Amino acid sequence: MFNMLVSIELTGLVWSSDWNGDEVGYPESEVVGLYSQERDDGSYSFYLDIETYKVLDFWKDEVEATDDEQ
């Protein structure tokens, strides 16, 4: 396992939904929020512990090709 110091600016987040922590793999968190953020290099999604505001997970969203792009 790696410990990494990463700085993520958590501004402009858009809320999508809330989950019980155990439903999304974080049983130590009561409520996990799913948020998204648009950045210059793409769109990102975040799981945040709602009580501590700790980032539990984040990923870059994949863009699906539309019929016009294929």
- Binning the chain into helix, strand and coil, the percentages to the nearest 5 are 5, 45, 50
Pull the structure tokens for residue 49: 């512990």
Number of domains forming the structure of the chain: 1
Task: Please report, in tens digits, the pLDDT of each residue of the chain (70 residues total).
Answer: 566 666 667 788 999 999 999 999 999 999 999 999 998 889 999 999 999 989 999 999 987 656 665 5
**9 falls within a domain:** no
In angstroms, how far is CA 13 from the centroid of its own chain? 9
Residue at 2 is within a domain: no
Distance CA 16, CA 11 (A): 15
Q: Which domain holds residue 52?
A: 14-60
- Model-level pTM? 0.75
